[in-house]
Each structure stands twice: as structure tokens, then as C-alpha cells.
Structure 1
Amino acid sequence: MTTLLVVDDESLVTDFLSFLFWREGYAVHAARTGKEALETAEQLQPDLIITDLMMPVMSGLELAQALRRNEKLAAVPIVLCTAAPDALSDEDKDLFLAVLRKPYPPPKLIEIVVRRIGPGRP
């Protein structure tokens, strides 16, 4: 089954995205910090990660940088969902498959995921 990792310090966001993608047929795991997400990703080897930018302990940017340095996780596509995309440099944005400004339409996020890793259901 195709596995997603959703990362956000707001439980309403992780709950919503988990349900949204579960309904689409994906296995979904959630983390509340970048550090927790990195540990979870090392265990799960997710097919794609959706993360917030501003989080305690380790930001979404720091998470992306750590993933790119990890030989086993470097190729995992990452979608950044943030209210502050202008805080990123062009170089930072290159770490992500896509950068969506919050609030974004959920079908747009689903479209990005499906286009990159395929539908959740076979």
C-alpha cells in the first residue's frame, strides 16, 4: 500500500489530512514535529511526505534538509504546506516537490500526490 507521512504541529491539520488521504486509499501516518517525522520516516520509508514549515523542535525546512542528507530517504518527495512560503529562498524551495500556500484547496494537494506517486487504491 502507498504510504504517506503527514507532519504538522496542529492536530486538526494532521487529522484532516490523514482522513482525506485515507479516503483516497493511502496508508497515512502522522507526526507533530520534524524530529518525530524524521524518526518515523526512517522506520516507514514513506512514498511521500506532506509537511508544515513552522513547527517546534525541527521545522519543515530542517526536516527536508535532513531527509536529503539521508541516503535512504533522499529521494522521498516532500510537499510543503505553509502560510509563509515567502520565507523560503529559491534554493530552499528546490528541496520540495511543491510548495502550497495555506489555505490551499484539498483537491490541489490530492492532485499533486496522485501525479507523483499514483492513486492510493490499486
Structure 2
Amino acid sequence: MATILIVDDECSFAETLGFALEDEGFTVVTASNGRRGLELLNRERPSLIITDFMMPVMDGLEFATSVRALPSAGHLPIILMSGAQAYIGMSRSDLFDSVLAKPFDIDLIITEVRKLLLAAH
């Protein structure tokens, strides 16, 4: 099954989402900020990325911009999970394939993950 990279500085969010995705059969790796997420990209080779917007070191916008610039990962579907900053992600369809609100609806996330993975293959 596919590997999903979750990039979020809120450990409880990343853990909760990670457990739910693992229950659906996905492999999950997590990073606490965008810079760490970039480090994990080549090693873990995820099929999809879920990122927060507001994070220390490198925010979700900087992270997604960096991912899109990589020949090895620029094609990956990226879901932005955000509260107040969701409107920024919605205006950047060049960076984010989907924008979902926090607090999150786990069923909606799983449906979106499956849809994007299907479209990518």
C-alpha cells in the first residue's frame, strides 16, 4: 500500500491522522516541519503528502513550493490541512491538490487520499 508523509508540528494531530490512515492500510511517516519533510522525501518516497500551513522552520507554503521544484517529487499529490490559512492554499492550486479544514473529518481525509492516489496512477 502507499506511503503517506504527514508534515505537521502538532504531534497529536499527526499521530491521530497517522493511526487512522494506518488502519486503512497505508504506511505513514511524519515530520514536524517542512525542512524535516524534505529530508524524508527521498528516503521514504511517499505517494502523497499531507501538510499543515503554520509550522516553525519552514511553513506549508514554503514546503509545497520546495516539493514542486524537485524533479523526483514535483508530481506528488499534496493535501493542505489548515484552519485560518486555508484560503491561501485554495488560491494556490499549482501547489496544493486539495485543501481541507482543521479540525478535520477523518472520513473526508481518507476519501480525498484515496481519490488523489487513484488519479496519480
Instruction: Check whether the contact 1:93–1:99 (CA below 8 A) recurs between aligned residues.
Output: no
How far has the Cα of 1:32 moved from its partner? 0.2
Instruction: Check whether the contact 2:89–2:96 (CA below 8 A) recurs between aligned residues.
Output: no
- Structure 1 stretch 54-63 or stretch 99-108: which is displaced more? 99-108
The alignment partner of 1:46 has SS state of: coil
Greater RCO, 1 or 2 (C-alpha within 8 Å, sep 6+): 1
Residues 55, 27 of structure 1: CA spacing in aligned structure 2 closer, same or farther, 3 A cutoff? same
The amino acid across from 2:40 in the alignment is T
How far has the Cα of 1:80 moved from its partner? 0.2
Tell me, which stretches of 5 or more residues in structure 1 are unaligned? none
How far has the Cα of 1:88 moved from its partner? 4.2
Find the counterpart in structure 1 of residue 50 from structure 2: 50
Find the counterpart in structure 2 of residue 100 from structure 1: 100
User: What is the rounded CA distance, in whole Å, between the counterparts of 1:110 and 1:23 in structure 2?
Assistant: 10
User: What is the rounded CA distance, in whole Å, between the counterparts of 2:77 and 2:88 in structure 1?
Assistant: 20
User: What is the rounded CA distance, in whole Å, between the counterparts of 1:71 and 1:47 in structure 2?
Assistant: 14
How far has the Cα of 1:104 moved from its partner? 2.5
How far has the Cα of 1:101 moved from its partner? 1.5
Number of aligned residue pairs: give it: 117
User: What is the rounded CA distance, in whole Å, between the counterparts of 1:54 and 1:77 in structure 2?
Assistant: 19
Query: After the TM superposition, which residues 29-40 of structure 1 pair with which residues of structure 2 at under 5 Å, given as runs?
Result: 29-40=29-40
Tell me, which stretches of 5 or more residues in structure 2 are unaligned? none
User: What is the rounded CA distance, in whole Å, between the counterparts of 1:112 and 1:88 in structure 2?
Assistant: 16
Q: Which runs of 4+ in 1 moved over 3 A?
A: none
RMSD: 1.3
User: What is the rounded CA distance, in whole Å, between the counterparts of 1:75 and 1:86 in structure 2?
Assistant: 22
Identity level (%): 38
- The TM-score normalised by the length of structure 1 is 0.90
The amino acid across from 2:58 in the alignment is M
User: What is the rounded CA distance, in whole Å, between the counterparts of 2:41 and 2:103 in structure 1?
Assistant: 25
